[in-house]
């Protein structure tokens, strides 16, 4: 639903920007609808001009959504939260963060960043349109009144209105909207319980979703079936997402207090960094038949990951006497290791679980003290679910 099969468009600030197939459908429908609107507003312009303005308005609207999500992503990065990508899809955009917030302050900053960007876009569009025309003309074109104006003013007025609408809707305190996440951060601060705060904002989200479904049914009965279906579909999505958050909060409560240290294998096999490549091949990879091993220094501190194919390549190309510390996998990254007090929830989105099938556990001095495998984590989650 969130665009896992999206098509990559480009990257910005190292963040993958993608679009799901539904986005292309919405883009086509928006261009078609706006062509008719701008044809009436730009009555003295040619069909080519009105189509060009409609195309520009549609694309700039999605640029606005992208900037909104980038606001979330960049503020999350400042809080130490990664972003695996931003996807444009049926209902706009979504920034896929690698973990949830650890504090109410983090939650508030990340949630408020998107609406702040949208508010800035509204101010910029209104200011630019006012300089190019006058306030009355901007308001007329922004509120879909049939008046004759210039293409630039019509475009800026519409962008101001659509972003203002997005801002107001998104600030409704109903999860998973940004307003719901802001409400969750406030409830979290007041109650001191993130799961309880999630249930509060999730229940509000469910109520709001049902209101939208009812509104959609009313609109459809009155004859506007397409708009009614749109509101109903949006309400169904919000209700489902909010209900999922409520269920997830109850699941999280069962995992409270469970850490990496509780799940780890306390006797991991590790290779000393000074071991020669040929010895690592004979004594570790050929003996244990495992595709990778953690590497530690003389004090037992975790250094990185050594892969079998790298060792085989070193031996094959005449470098068997080099220490394995020279062949560590640079792509494993720092997240391949976590402190032993890391909550289970914080481990779920780690890239190393997907790439390696495990994550290393270290103590306060950085010494390797255990390994948590994906199977161990899966069993813990299954037990909590039951």
Say yes or no to pLDDT of 148 above 70. Answer: no
> Residue 308: which domain range?
260-385
Going by C-alpha positions, the residue among 173, 139, 175, 171 that lies closest to residue 156 is 139
Number of domains in the chain: 3
Residue after which a domain boundary falls, among 171, 202, 227: 171
pLDDT tens profile 4-57: 467 888 888 888 888 888 888 888 888 888 888 777 777 677 778 888 888 998
* pLDDT of 1: 42
Tokens standing for 176?
A: 């998973």
CA distance 10 to 226: 32
CB 384 within 8 A of CB 251: yes
**Mean pLDDT, residues 299-308 taken together:** 91
DSSP structure string for 38-86: HHHHTTTS-HHHHHHHHHHHHHHHHHHHHHHHHHHHHHHHHTT--EEEE
One domain for residues 30 and 99 = yes
For the chain, the average pLDDT equals 84
Residue 146, pLDDT > 50, answer: no
Is the pLDDT at 144 greater than 50, yes or no?
no
Tell me: do 284 and 302 sit in the same domain: yes
Rounded to whole angstroms, the Cα distance separating 182 from 176 reads 10
Residue length, the chain?
Answer: 386
The phi and psi torsions of 363 (rounded to 5 degrees) equal -90, -170
- For the segment 250-268, the average pLDDT, to the nearest whole number, is 80
What local confidence, expressed as pLDDT, does residue 138 receive? Answer: 53
Q: Which of 321, 303, 302 is nearest to 368 (CA)?
A: 302
Residue range 49-59, pLDDT digits in tens: 888 888 998 89
Overall average pLDDT of the 347-369 stretch: 85
Q: Among 83-92, 283-292, 358-367, which is the least confidently predicted range? A: 83-92
The whole-number pLDDT of residue 193 equals 86
Which of 294, 307, 272, 308 is CA-nearest to residue 361?
Answer: 294
Domain ends where: 119, 140, 171? 171
What pLDDT, on a 0 to 100 scale, did the predictor assign at position 135?
53
Strands 358-362 and 337-339: parallel
* End residue of a domain, out of 212, 232, 256: 256
Residues 197 and 138 in one domain: no
In a domain, 234, yes or no: yes
Q: State yes or no: pLDDT of 240 exceeds 90.
A: no
In this predicted structure, the answer to whether residue 119 has a pLDDT above a threshold of 90 is yes
pLDDT, one tens digit per residue, over 177-232 is 899 899 999 999 998 888 888 889 889 989 999 998 999 999 989 888 878 888 88
Can you tell me the distance from the alpha carbon of 245 to that of 184, in angstroms, rounded to the nearest whole number? 11
Do 377 and 335 lie in one domain? The reply is yes
- 102 and 152 in a single domain? The answer is yes
CA atoms of 118 and 205, how far apart (whole Å): 21
Kindly tell me if the per-residue pLDDT of 97 is higher than 90: no
Query: Based on the domain organization, do 163 and 17 belong to the same domain?
Result: yes
SS3 276: strand
228 and 272 together in one domain: no
Rounded Cα distance between 272 and 92, Å, is 50
Integer CA distances (angstroms), 14 to 70, 85, 95, 336, in order:
11, 9, 13, 20
- For residue 97, the SS3 value is strand
- Work out the average pLDDT over 118-123: 93
Q: How confident is the model at residue 297 (pLDDT cuts 50, 70, 90)?
A: very high
* Domain-located, residue 64: yes
pLDDT at 108 over 90: yes
State yes or no: pLDDT of 249 exceeds 80. Answer: no
């Amino acid at each position: 639903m969130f665009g896992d099969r999206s098509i990559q468009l480009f990257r910005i600030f190292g963040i993958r920007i993608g679009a799901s197939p539904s986005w292309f459908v919405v883009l086509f429908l928006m261009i078609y609808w706006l062509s008719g609107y701008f044809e009436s507003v730009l009555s003295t312009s040619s069909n080519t001009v009105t189509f060009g303005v409609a195309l520009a308005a549609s694309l700039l609207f999605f640029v606005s959504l992208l900037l909104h999500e980038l606001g979330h992503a960049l503020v999350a990065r400042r809080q130490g939260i990664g972003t695996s990508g931003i996807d444009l899809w049926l209902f706009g955009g979504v920034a896929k963060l690698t973990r949830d917030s650890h504090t109410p302050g983090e939650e508030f900053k990340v949630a408020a960043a998107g609406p702040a960007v949208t508010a800035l876009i509204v101010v910029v569009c209104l200011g630019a349109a006012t300089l190019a025309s006058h306030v009355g003309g901007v308001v007329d074109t922004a509120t879909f009144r049939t008046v004759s104006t210039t293409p630039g003013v019509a475009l800026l007025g519409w962008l101001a209105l659509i972003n203002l609408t997005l801002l107001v809707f998104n600030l409704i305190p109903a999860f998973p909207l940004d307003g719901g996440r802001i409400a969750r951060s406030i409830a979290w601060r007041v109650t001191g319980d993130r799961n309880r705060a999630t249930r509060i904002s999730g229940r509000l989200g469910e109520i709001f979703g049902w209101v939208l479904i009812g509104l959609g049914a009313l609109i459809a009965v009155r004859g506007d079936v397409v708009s009614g279906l749109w509101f109903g579909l949006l309400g169904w999505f919000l209700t489902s997402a909010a209900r999922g958050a409520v269920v997830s909060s109850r699941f999280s409560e069962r995992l409270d207090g469970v850490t990496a240290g509780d799940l780890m294998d306390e006797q991991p096999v590790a290779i000393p960094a000074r071991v020669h490549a040929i010895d690592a091949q004979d004594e570790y990879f050929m003996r244990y038949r495992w595709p990778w091993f953690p590497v530690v220094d003389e004090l037992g501190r975790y250094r990185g990951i050594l892969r079998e194919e790298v060792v085989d390549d070193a031996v094959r190309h005449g470098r068997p006497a080099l220490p394995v510390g020279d062949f560590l996998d640079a792509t494993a990254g720092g997240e391949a290791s976590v402190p032993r007090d890391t909550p289970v929830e914080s481990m779920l989105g780690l890239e190393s679980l997907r790439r390696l099938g495990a994550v290393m556990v270290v103590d306060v001095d950085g010494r390797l003290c255990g390994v948590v495998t994906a199977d161990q984590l899966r069993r813990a989650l299954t037990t909590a679910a039951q």
